[in-house]
Amino acid sequence: MITGAICCICGKPLEDEGEEYCYDCRKRKHFFLRCRAPFLYRGKIKDSLMRFKYLGRAEYAAFYGRAMTEYGKRQGIFKNQSLIIPVPIHRERRIERGYNQAELLAKEVSLLTGIPVNKKILLRKKKTKALKSVSKESRSRGLAEAFSVSAAQRNMLPGKHILLIDDIYTTGSTADAASAHLLRAGATSVTVLTLAVSPGFS
């Protein structure tokens, strides 16, 4: 698990323990309050996560969920959270993979914390390109249009503190786009918990 100094917003490790923010978070305002992740997205964790995400290893979710919950508790992530919402994937990708990996993680965290999960509030209406293949600016533009809030479920959001669950935090573009939609629909705040965070600056 990640040890040492981390950015107080995105949770990425800091090279200088005297700093509070990483390079990216000093330059950019996020819609979410903070993000935390127990692991760095590299080495064995990166390989394992790729098997979980693309090669049908859904059973990994139980271990991942425990790791996220243990780390989240140490970081005080779960205090006052009202509802867990997984980042959705487009239906075509769900068919290809057989499941939404963020949804599996959200269910595990919900079981371990008692915070209810709702997978119907946040929708993925647009299929975006693989994020690693596009620039940060293109990611932000594409993701801003990729999400929406269900009209039938938006009454669940006003006054709620949302815990948004995803598998990987890289630039924060996905977390920001999803958080912006949830806040506009009435959520009081959004906190993000992911399994892994990319090392270094984004």
pLDDT, position 126: 75
pLDDT over 70 at 26, yes or no: yes
51-107 per-position pLDDT tens digit: 999 999 999 999 999 999 999 999 999 999 999 999 999 999 999 999 999 999 999
Which is it for the CA torsion 120, 125, 126, 127, positive or negative?
positive
Residue 129 binned pLDDT confidence (cut-offs 50, 70, 90): low
**141 by DSSP, 3-state: which?**
helix
* Element of type H or E holding 138: helix 136-144
pLDDT, position 121: 97
133-187 per-position pLDDT tens digit: 555 565 666 787 899 999 999 999 999 999 999 999 999 999 999 999 999 999 9
| pTM for the model | 0.92
As a whole-number percent, the residues of the chain with pLDDT over 90 amount to 81
Query: Beta strand pairing status for 122-124 and 147-149?
Result: antiparallel
- Tell me if 157 sits within 8 A of 174, measured CB to CB: no
Residue type, 83: L
pLDDT over 70 at 200, yes or no: no
pLDDT, position 176: 97
- Tell me if 100 sits within 8 A of 88, measured CB to CB: yes
